[in-house]
Amino acid sequence: MAGSDGHIVKRYDQQLCALKGLVLEIGQYAVEQCKDAAKALIEGDVDLARQVVSRDRDINAMDIKAQESCVELLATRQPVASDLRFVMAMSKSVNDLERAGDEAKKLARIALKAYETADAQPSAAIFHDVGPMAEAAAASLDRALDAIENFDVAMAVDVVQNDDKLNEMLYAGIRRLATFLFEDHRNVRFVIDAVFALKALERIGDHATNVAEQLIYAVKGKDVRYVQADHLSGGFLDAR
């Protein structure tokens, strides 16, 4: 197991590594769903949006498999200390990654709603902020997964401390979208869709932060969910 000296029972190590690998697989799938859903919305690609919606079932299936693996480890191995924290952290992380996939599906459904009909379609400018936010959300999720893969607490802390970036992008995007309402009241429906899309991407960032916080808990044994982000540096995590 990464971050440890291994166990006497080799099969136990293999099970822990398999769980970690499955979590990373789910995470990468969620990242790709996020990118594809955003692309479908920006480019009006209805076929790609349908694929994203359809592929959500794959994440659900992997979610069930990972949770079953966690239950099996708890029941048969009765892990303690760092191993117990790791299993519990992975279980919670899987839940967040599955929800990130759900947010990507929301993006795809917004694309279908906007472009599937032949009547009035939105100006590309309305979804201008989706691209940068999707890139930031996917990058945050990627860094959280890298933190899990390498048991890198510093990287996990960086993800947590950069959570405000997506919040700022959300508010800036909403302010910009308000201008479309003043220009033409017929944009109302599409502006609302764009706001929901930006909010979905902000939530993906929140899920990435949750995953990073779980990695910190697994390695350091400290629950930092309610600790201010700027307090996580300077030796706080090493204090007893």
End-to-end CA distance of the chain: 25
Q: Does residue 7 carry a pLDDT above 60?
A: no
pLDDT digits (tens, 9 = 90+) for 8-39: 568 888 999 999 999 999 999 999 999 999 99
- 103 in any annotated domain: yes
Which amino acid, 194?
A
- 3 in any annotated domain: no
- 5 in any annotated domain: no
Of residues 115 and 182, more confidence is placed in: 115
CA-CA distance, 218 to 125, in Å (whole number)? 43
- 2 in any annotated domain: no
- 114 in any annotated domain: yes
CA-CA distance, 24 to 67, in Å (whole number)? 14
pLDDT digits (tens, 9 = 90+) for 85-136: 999 999 999 999 999 999 999 999 999 998 887 566 788 889 999 999 999 9
Range of the domain at 17: 10-238
What is the per-residue DSSP string for 163-193?
HHHHHHHHHHHHHHHHHHHHH-GGGHHHHHH
- 31 in any annotated domain: yes
DSSP letter at 45 equals -
Domain count, the chain: 1
Diameter over CA atoms, the chain: 69
- 62 in any annotated domain: yes
pTM score: 0.91
- 184 in any annotated domain: yes
pLDDT band at 2 (very low <50, low <70, confident <90, very high): very low
Q: Does residue 160 carry a pLDDT above 50?
A: yes
The mean per-residue pLDDT over the stretch 164-183 comes to 91
pLDDT band at 158 (very low <50, low <70, confident <90, very high): very high
CATH number, residue 153 = 1.20.58.220
SS3 for 37?
A: helix
